[in-house]
A and B are shown apart, each in its own frame.
Chain A
Amino acid sequence: EIVLTQSPATLSVSAGERATLSCRASQSVTTNLAWYQQRPGQAPRLLIYDASNRATDIPARFSGSGSGTDFTLTISSLEPEDFAVYYCQQRLNSWTFGQGTKVEI
């Protein structure tokens, strides 16, 4: 089973600042990695697929990078609606989610 480890568990930032979230896989997933955003009380929403491609209607302030085992989600300038929990997920071998990073004010 491929394990995804996200860090940090909680990221405290201010609106307008840059946020950098990390996801590390226990073995290579090439670029078969996605990022999701989950706001309180809502279902998850796909942000990034194939490590670096923005999903439909996702603002340009969200970007993803990485390959193999190390991946990063960057939010260039946080908007109030970006305070949420972010999950990475791999689909190379079965389905696995990371444990999430909470971005809080």
Chain B
Amino acid sequence: EVQLLESGGDLAQPGESLRLSCAASGFTFSDYGMAWVRQAPGKGLEWVSAINNGGFNTYYAASVRGRFAISRDNSKNTLYLQMSSLRADDTAVYYCAKEAGHARPFDHWGQGTLVTVSP
């Protein structure tokens, strides 16, 4: 059974940094692209960042480019999101999601971790 377990969400002040982790199990992690998708309170889904299976290609939404960094450790079956220069509008539940294949939709999602940015 595929499982994605996010952690690292917390309360942060504007300008601070946080690192999110997503521990994956139940599939061959190194075979699949992964992504982070966020959802602000009461709002819709927003794609944040993605990384290919090997970790060599990374992609970012314009809203986070230059502030967030996605990475993965295939030896630990773990996906990361390093978030810097946090702003109030980064407040959201952050979901880790697995791609079904290259350029395919997200077939599995974690339960999310809440990041709150507030003074």
Contacts and interface: CB of A to CB of B under 8 A. Distances in A.
Given A44-B45, A91-B103, 15 more contacts: A34-B105, A36-B106, A43-B110, A43-B111, A44-B37, A44-B106, A46-B107, A49-B107, A56-B107, A85-B44, A87-B45, A95-B35, A95-B47, A97-B37, A97-B46
Contacts of A95: 35, 47, 50, 59
Interface of B: 35, 37, 44-47, 50, 59, 95, 100, 103-107, 109-112
A33 B112 CA distance: 23
A49 B50 contact: no
Which DSSP category, helix, strand, loop or mixed, fits chain A's interface?
A: loop
B45 A100 contact: yes
Interface of A: 32, 34, 36, 38, 42-46, 49, 55-56, 85, 87, 89, 91-92, 94-100
Contacts of A100: 44-45
